[in-house]
Amino acid sequence: MIRVLIVDDQELVRAGLRGLLGNDPGIEIAGEASGGVRALAEARRLRPDVVLMDLRMPGGAGLDATAAITAELPGTRVLVLTTFDEPGEIDAAVRAGAAGYLLKDTGADELRRAVHTVAAGGSLLSPTVARHLMDRLAAQDPPPSPDPRLTTLTERELQVLARVGLGETNQEIAAALFLSPATARTYVSRLLAKLRARDRTQLAVIAHRSGLTPPR
């Protein structure tokens, strides 16, 4: 059972998240907090597996709470859920130790999957955030230089890698390449193994730095 602490200053948002996550039999709502200071206190008390963290709250900054929780409670993972996709805020959240960054327009199923992913030790970014991040990386990087490991990939695997570089989900990749979602997921898993990448974000970085996905 994954124990989740919900942190958001709006009571209606917290209630909605309780309802969405409560539908998953593998998730238990351990507690709630309306600000960063209270979030840290509740995380210390409850020791949840995942903290679902808003960033901008009058009751204490979510970024400060994220940094404190990840530093003090290594067994607790922080998944940011916010309205804002500003580059500086994304970078700051990653530096603070957040394991994921999602926007509040994320679908219910995707949110539940994200909680499971983060609890299992993975990391993720919403497609919109990933696209912003990859575009900035591409703008800052030297000219593309194909990763030598790409020579081990099939043409179809290269196509899937390019779509991952755009921040697309498995469902979007499947639709674009006329695959089933299960087959798209298999290709992504194969890419993670072949390229020795930790997560989809690393795959996207490889795609961009190899020139597979030009800036949008």
Please check whether residue 216 lies inside any domain of the structure. no
- In CATH, what number is assigned to the domain containing residue 93? 3.40.50.2300
Q: What are phi and psi of 97, to 5 degrees?
A: 105, 10
**pLDDT, tens digit, 9 for 90 and up, residues 73-106:** 989 999 999 887 777 788 788 888 888 888 888 8
**pLDDT, tens digit, 9 for 90 and up, residues 148-201:** 888 999 999 999 999 988 878 888 899 999 999 899 999 999 999 999 887 887
Q: Are residues 23 and 103 in the same domain?
A: yes
The pTM score is 0.66
Which position has the token pair 């196509």? Answer: 159
Q: Are residues 9 and 111 in the same domain?
A: yes
Q: Which residues contact 204 (CB under 8 A, 6 or more apart)?
A: 130, 133, 134, 164, 165, 166, 167, 213
pLDDT for 216 equals 47
> How many domains does the chain divide into?
2
Residue range of the domain that includes 77: 2-125
Residue 135 has pLDDT above 80, yes or no: no
Q: Which residues contact 55 (CB under 8 A, 6 or more apart)?
A: 61, 62, 63, 80, 82, 84, 89, 93
Nearest Cα to Cα of residue 60 among 35, 92, 96, 43: 35
Print burial letters for 85-124: b (CB count within 10 Å at least 16), e (below 16).
Answer: beeebbebbbebebbbbbbeebeeebbbebbebbbeebbb
Mean pLDDT of the chain: 86
Asked if 5 and 31 touch (Cβ cutoff 8 Å), the reply is yes
Q: Are residues 28 and 75 in the same domain?
A: yes
Q: Are residues 183 and 102 in the same domain?
A: no
- In CATH, what number is assigned to the domain containing residue 154? 1.10.10.10
